[in-house]
């Protein structure tokens, strides 16, 4: 039988599937902590790595395995590891390859807890981190040290949507013998595949778009089989940040609609960004789908589309920003992103509060920056909610003047 090539939308549904005893169409949920051996010899052989098979869910589970193979197929990589949270994916993808005395280069803006891990916790273990503007290729070069082992970045960057050149980062890392790690949460493999440009390791907060329904926290790491084996046999096994089978099952279910959801997220975000760009209460909009955004040039080359997250700055004070957010009726005031619901939040006081004011300024995260994860609602309703909240803010400003 002739094999057929499968598109990303098809892989979201079919990749990683294996036959099961009863012919269930839906992925079976193996909600078990441990697995029974046929005999003592089989148990010993599995522990020794001489026989394939499952031992204990922290070490592997059939439901989890389908999710790992699915994301690996979508990212065009050999294998994957599922983790309990997005931060477990971040820590596994870095600590598995770093040790005391090593140095890492990181983009100057990253998710707040990633920043806290790298800037506060890594120092306790003798791992040094340099935060640099990775749009400045000379700055990346200048950050290199003899003990540099790893390069970590997000693109687009959370929360200000800066887009980095994956081809340059992969080439730089390869030239200097570094492991390159990219957080691809904002775009998913449907819109961007870092491995196509030579990136070694890709991570996701599967909490976000991959699951898509706001009811799971989880992470994923994809890479070569060799690197994934190292991650699973060290940090994941011994620190234990592995996913539960039920959460893996929910993400598998959510990913069946990933392609259609991402199309709607992108369409809605583009429309919202264009509305905000022309509104007099808005000082600046950060969204790569807009022609004046520096990252717009990467669409069609590195990114298929700009994604579903945008940020903007208001004409007004921090108090004006709080007032504006509190006026929103449809948009939910909540952190996270990638849900069916539109979410709005204030990075400086919420997701990026681990930064000091000076660190936020260095990373380009202003006190007035507001981030929106544009959901799947009818886009006219999202725009209408933002419009009435902006009007209320302008009236509030007039009363206060």
What is the pLDDT at residue 351? 72
Residue 395 falls inside a structural domain: yes
**Domain check: are 212 and 281 in the same one?**
no
Residue 239 falls inside a structural domain: yes
Q: What is the domain extent for residue 353?
A: 259-400
Check if the beta carbon of residue 16 is closer than 8 Å to that of residue 67. yes
* Integer Cα distance of 65 and 227 in angstroms: 16
**Domain check: are 288 and 375 in the same one?**
yes
* Integer Cα distance of 99 and 102 in angstroms: 6
Provide the number of structural domains found in the chain. Answer: 2
Residue 386 falls inside a structural domain: yes
Which entry of 108, 149, 208, 232 is annotated as an active-site residue? Answer: 208
* Integer Cα distance of 169 and 50 in angstroms: 39
What is the pLDDT at residue 360? 75
**Could you tell me the CATH number of the domain that includes residue 114?**
3.40.640.10
**Domain check: are 218 and 184 in the same one?**
yes
**Domain check: are 155 and 290 in the same one?**
no
Residue 389 falls inside a structural domain: yes
Q: Which of 255, 284, 319 is the last residue of a domain?
A: 255
**Domain check: are 190 and 46 in the same one?**
yes
What is the pLDDT at residue 349? 76
Task: End-to-end CA distance of the chain: give it in Å, rounded.
Answer: 75
Active site residue 108: no
Residue 169 falls inside a structural domain: yes
What is the pLDDT at residue 4? 54
Q: Which of 255, 271, 297 is the last residue of a domain?
A: 255
Which entry of 58, 253, 264, 271 is annotated as an active-site residue? Answer: 58
Q: Which of 255, 272, 302 is the last residue of a domain?
A: 255
Residue 130 falls inside a structural domain: yes
**Domain check: are 249 and 280 in the same one?**
no
Peptide bond before residue 159 is cis, with ω within 30 degrees of 0: yes
What is the pLDDT at residue 152? 98
**Domain check: are 135 and 238 in the same one?**
yes
Question: Helix, strand or coil for residue 223?
Answer: strand
Measured N-to-C along each axis, helices 245-255 and 62-75 cross at an angle, to the nearest 10 degrees, of 40
Q: Tokens for 334, please give them.
A: 């909540």
**Domain check: are 114 and 220 in the same one?**
yes
Helices (H), 192-317: 225-231, 237-239, 245-255, 258-277
Q: Give the β-pairing of 128-132 and 148-154.
A: unpaired
Which entry of 79, 102, 133, 183 is annotated as an active-site residue? Answer: 183
**Domain check: are 94 and 194 in the same one?**
yes
**Domain check: are 160 and 299 in the same one?**
no
From the list 245, 194, 237, 188, the residue with the least C-alpha distance to 216 is 245
* Integer angstrom CA distances of residue 56 from 62, 237, 241, 369: 11, 11, 14, 45
**Could you tell me the CATH number of the domain that includes residue 265?**
3.90.1150.10
* Integer Cα distance of 88 and 50 in angstroms: 29
**Tens digit of each residue's pLDDT, the chain (401 residues):** 556 557 999 999 999 888 888 888 989 999 999 999 999 999 999 999 999 999 999 999 999 999 999 999 999 999 999 999 999 999 999 999 999 999 999 999 899 899 999 999 999 999 999 999 999 999 999 999 999 999 999 999 988 899 999 999 999 999 999 999 999 999 999 999 999 999 999 999 999 999 999 999 999 999 999 999 999 999 999 999 999 999 999 999 999 999 999 999 999 999 999 999 999 999 999 999 999 999 999 999 999 999 999 999 999 887 888 899 999 999 999 989 999 999 999 887 777 777 778 777 777 777 778 999 999 999 999 999 999 999 999 999 999 87
**Domain check: are 236 and 282 in the same one?**
no
**Domain check: are 127 and 244 in the same one?**
yes
Beta bridge mates, 373: 309, 343
Active site residue 54: no
Active site residue 209: no
Active site residue 208: yes
181: left (phi over 0), alpha (psi -120 to 50) or beta: beta
């Amino acid at each position: 039988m002739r094999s057929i090539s499968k598109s990303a939308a098809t892989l979201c549904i079919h990749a990683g599937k294996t036959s099961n005893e009863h012919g269930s169409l839906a992925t079976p949920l193996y909600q078990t902590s441990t697995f029974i051996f046929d005999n003592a010899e089989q148990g010993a052989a599995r522990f020794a790595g001489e026989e394939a098979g499952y031992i204990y869910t922290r070490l592997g589970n059939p439901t989890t395995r389908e999710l790992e193979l699915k994301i690996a197929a979508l990212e065009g990589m050999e294998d994957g590891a599922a983790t309990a949270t997005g931060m477990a994916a971040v820590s596994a993808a870095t600590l598995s390859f770093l040790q005391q005395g090593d140095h890492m280069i990181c983009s100057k803006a990253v998710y707040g807890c990633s920043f806290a891990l790298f800037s506060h916790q890594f120092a306790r273990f003798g791992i040094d981190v340099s935060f640099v503007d990775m749009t400045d290729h000379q700055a990346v070069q200048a950050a290199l040290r003899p003990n540099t082992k790893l390069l970590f970045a997000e693109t687009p960057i959370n929360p200000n949507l800066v887009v980095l050149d994956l081809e340059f980062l992969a080439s730089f890392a390869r030239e200097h013998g570094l492991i390159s790690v990219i957080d691809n949460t904002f775009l998913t493999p449907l819109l961007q595949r870092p491995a196509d440009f030579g990136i070694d390791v890709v991570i996701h907060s599967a909490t976000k778009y991959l699951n898509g329904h706001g009811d799971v926290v989880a992470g994923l790491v994809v890479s070569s089989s060799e690197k994934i084996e190292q991650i699973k046999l060290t940090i994941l096994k011994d620190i234990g940040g592995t996913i539960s089978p039920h959460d893996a099952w929910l993400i598998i279910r959510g990913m069946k609609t990933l392609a259609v959801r991402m199309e709607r997220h992108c369409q809605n975000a583009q429309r919202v960004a264009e509305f905000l760009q022309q509104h007099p209460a808005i000082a600046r909009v950060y969204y790569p789908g807009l022609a004046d955004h520096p990252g717009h040039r990467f669409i069609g080359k590195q990114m298929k589309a700009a994604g579903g997250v945008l940020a903007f700055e208001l004409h007004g004070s921090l108090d004006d920003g709080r007032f504006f957010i509190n006026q929103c009726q449809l948009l939910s005031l909540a952190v996270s992103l990638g849900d069916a619901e539109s979410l709005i939040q204030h990075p400086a006081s919420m997701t990026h509060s681990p930064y000091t004011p000076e660190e936020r300024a260095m990373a380009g995260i202003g006190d007035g920056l507001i981030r929106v994860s544009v959901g799947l609602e009818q886009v006219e309703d999202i725009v209408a909610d933002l419009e009435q909240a902006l009007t209320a803010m302008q009236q509030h400003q007039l009363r206060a003047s």
